[in-house]
Structure 1
Amino acid sequence: MAEEPVSSLSLFSDDLLYNLEFSDDVCTCKLPDGMSPKTPGEGLCMRALQFTDFSKGYSQLLAQLTRVGDLTQDKFEEQFRGIQASPNTHYITVIEDTTRGELVASASLIVERKFTHLAAMRGRIEDVIVADSCRGRQLGKLLLETLSLLAIKLECYKISLECVENNVPFYAKFGFKQEDSLFMVRRIFD
């Protein structure tokens, strides 16, 4: 069997998203009726980040959240291949507006293996962004619920995230709590 060309590959199988249990007893936040990774909304498709997503505005979407810099297609492809070389660590999930062929939302679950907690795994949710044009459609809730359930399925002993203070009430809806620990950062460059 011929090997699939890299340009058509996803970071992970979409089945991981589509086979999650979205029931009232496992979900922490009420989603609109019928909303799930398989059915994120009319004209929308939720899936893993793909090799070809640079051309669908991935860096422009991230730029609505943070500084991206001059990310070229070559650099995107290099980084994509680097992430692929470490399987089961990065679950970058996107929502595409299929009518426009552009990405409108994204969030990442980063999984790290630990020796603590009986050699468990820890999940971090990062880079949660919904395009300005799509806010209010519950896409952030869908991404957060999906990645939280995925972390549980992957047997992460905890899930953490960083956010600005005014976003704390939003993330609290998903069971995230502020802990006593002091989060510190050392920026090497902006």
Structure 2
Amino acid sequence: AAVGAAPRERLCRQTVEHLYPKVRCRALFGREISLEARHGAYLMPFLDHQVVAEAMTLPVAIKQAGRFEAALLAAIDPVLAAYPSAYGHDFAGPPSTRHRFQEWSSRIRPAWLRQRSYAIQRRMGTMADEHGGLLSPDYLGRVIDLDYPAMRRFFHMEAITDSGLLRRIACLEYLAQRLGSRLR
């Protein structure tokens, strides 16, 4: 309705590409950009309207698996693009076969499976700590009580297998310890 399409009307590719930066990225990054900009210059080149307009002219194949973003980063700063990324490859060259397969498998996954992906991953085992050991008991124990006395009232700590969730709960525990008796 926001773009003037009827319910269930199939949208053309161009309309969808216009919607992504205007709607999804704004919701995802709007607050972050606002907060960061208060403390100095902050650049989100992939959301710049001129970059988006130019990207609209590129074939879809170039835009899959981060090819366009990698080429843009490599053109701006080749040294930065050559550093390894969290995706398992640098941005100085094309994405790895592994990364392309992960992108493809995500795109072909049906909607009903997408809704259950997190739960399935959790049931498959512990989800890795992507922050280099910051959640290890040795490190975390310096900051909070590892028995989680405040958060244990709200969470089954033994059942937490996701490092991202544990990190958030640890932050809440830290806050609870600092607030003391003011926390109910």
Could you state the TM-score of these two structures normalised by the residue count of structure 1?
Answer: 0.27
Q: Which has the higher helix share?
A: 2
Tell which has more relative contact order, 1 or 2 (C-alpha 8 A, sep 6+).
1
Q: Which has the higher strand share?
A: 1
Larger Rg: 2
Could you state the TM-score of these two structures normalised by the residue count of structure 2?
Answer: 0.28
